[in-house]
Amino acid sequence: MKRQLILCDLDGTLYDTSSVNFDAYRRALAEEGIVLKVGDFREYGLGNHYRDFLPRLAPGLSRESIERVHQRKTELYAGCLGRARENTGFFRQLEAMRKDCWLAIVTTASRACTNALLAHFGRTGFFDLVLCGEDVRCRKPDPEGFLSAMAHFGMEAANTTIYEDSPAGLAAARASGARVMEVTFPGLDSDLADPPTD
């Protein structure tokens, strides 16, 4: 019987998707006539929910436009996955732990993007549970997602370890009462750059 629960964030923990998200948002915002720069995306976008960072990246966007941009980004996401990188060392650790531990993802990413990413790397079905942004009412730094995952498996915080990378995610993990491990992804977002201009 498995007596431990491992909860993992997705972006920046399991995968480096910074270039993927940047490219998809850049293309979606371009359709609105807005130019997205890497520096702005690094400052506001990485590790944050789109409803929090899009108003800062593009202050003139209406609420309806923000939702339209996010929907378009989701549609473009799969076509940008060639730039994603898997945290192979961390996955080797998870492979070793899965015999004795339940494995779950808790992410603010959409289910469509999460499923596309896992499928791209052949990881569909690797995790025992995948909780996405649509599955919770309160996003990180609120601990709702982590607490929901614990409840799903009937696990206490004392038997749960959370792997996270972003400030919001780490705050949510600590608020859950579980053991928290900060993940350092080698070379995270190192290839994130503005596209060349013609």
Q: What is the pLDDT of residue 47?
A: 77
Task: From residue 25, give the alpha-carbon distance in Å to each of 68, 70, 165.
Answer: 11, 8, 21
Smallest CA-to-CA distance from 148 within 134, 164, 166 is with: 134
For 92-110, what is each residue's pLDDT tens digit?
Answer: 999 999 999 999 999 999 9
Query: What average pLDDT is seen over the chain?
Result: 93
Question: Is it the case that residue 141 has pLDDT exceeding 80?
Answer: yes
Query: Exposed, middle or buried by CB within 10 Å (0-12, 13-18, 19+), for 41?
Result: buried
Average pLDDT, stretch 25-52? 91
Contact 166, 137 (CB under 8 A): no
Smallest CA-to-CA distance from 6 within 132, 191, 153, 190 is with: 153
Q: What is the pLDDT of residue 113?
A: 97
For 48-92, what is each residue's pLDDT tens digit?
Answer: 889 989 999 888 899 999 999 999 999 999 999 999 999 999 999
C-alpha 53/C-alpha 58 separation (Å) is 9
Average pLDDT, stretch 116-123? 98
Domains and CATH numbers, the chain: 4-16+85-182 (3.40.50.1000), 18-82 (1.10.150)
Q: What is the pLDDT of residue 195?
A: 65
Question: Is it the case that residue 197 has pLDDT exceeding 60?
Answer: no
Least confident of 11-20, 111-120, 132-141, 187-196: 187-196
Average pLDDT, stretch 24-50? 92
C-alpha 55/C-alpha 145 separation (Å) is 24
Q: What is the pLDDT of residue 198?
A: 39
